[in-house]
């Protein structure tokens, strides 16, 4: 009896080893054979169908999750780009506001300078000379440059020679 048992055991081990080797090498597909046999058993078939449907649903869910993850990554990238563009736009708005303020200041200064030029043009040359003597040279030069050449020449001629020379040197 012991010899019979050992021979049956050796035969079973050989069959299992052969089946494993043939499965690994791809010669046979026992899983498909077992599934076909299981489908032929009426009590197991409904369970296998449910398993396959669940497996299909899991595969579909994994595909959909991957698509959602990709869409989410694209959305995040777009949000980052939008944030970057918002920052750039805010910077440009700030620069534009600064330039606009500078332009308004410059226009106001030009209008003030124009009024000063008109005032000094209406003065007598002697009165204008007395004021130019104590005035900042850059302001005096901008006023003289805005006057008509006859009035400016008359005022320059009446200024002290050092001041007239200094203003003339800045004129270059």
* Span 84-137, pLDDT tens digits: 999 999 999 999 999 999 999 999 999 998 998 999 899 999 999 999 899 998
Exposed e or buried b per residue across 116-125, where buried means at least 16 C-beta atoms within 10 angstroms of its C-beta: ebeebeeeeb
Q: Are residues 53 and 97 in the same domain?
A: yes
Count of structural domains within the chain = 2
> What is the pLDDT, as a whole number, of residue 172?
66
Residue 86 lies in a domain: yes
Judged by average pLDDT, the poorest of 30-34, 70-74, 93-97 is: 30-34
Measure CA 127 to chain center.
62
169, part of any domain:
yes
Domain of residue 88, residue span: 45-104
């Amino acid at each position: 009896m012991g010899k019979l048992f050992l021979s049956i055991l050796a035969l079973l081990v050989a069959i299992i080893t052969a089946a494993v080797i043939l499965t690994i090498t791809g010669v046979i597909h026992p899983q498909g054979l077992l599934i076909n046999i299981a489908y032929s058993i009426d009590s197991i078939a409904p369970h296998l169908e449910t398993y396959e449907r669940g497996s299909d649903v899991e595969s579909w869910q994994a595909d959909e999750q991957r698509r959602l993850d990709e869409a989410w990554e694209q959305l995040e990238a777009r949000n980052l780009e939008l944030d970057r563009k918002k920052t750039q736009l805010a910077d440009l708005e700030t620069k534009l506001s600064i330039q606009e303020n500078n332009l308004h200041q410059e226009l106001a200064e030009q209008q003030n300078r124009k009024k000063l030029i008109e005032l000094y043009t209406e003065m007598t040359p002697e009165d204008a000379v007395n004021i130019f003597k104590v005035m900042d040279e850059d302001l005096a030069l901008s006023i003289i440059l805005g006057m008509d050449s006859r009035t400016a020449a008359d005022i320059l001629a009446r200024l002290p020679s050092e001041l007239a020379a200094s203003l003339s040197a800045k004129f270059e």
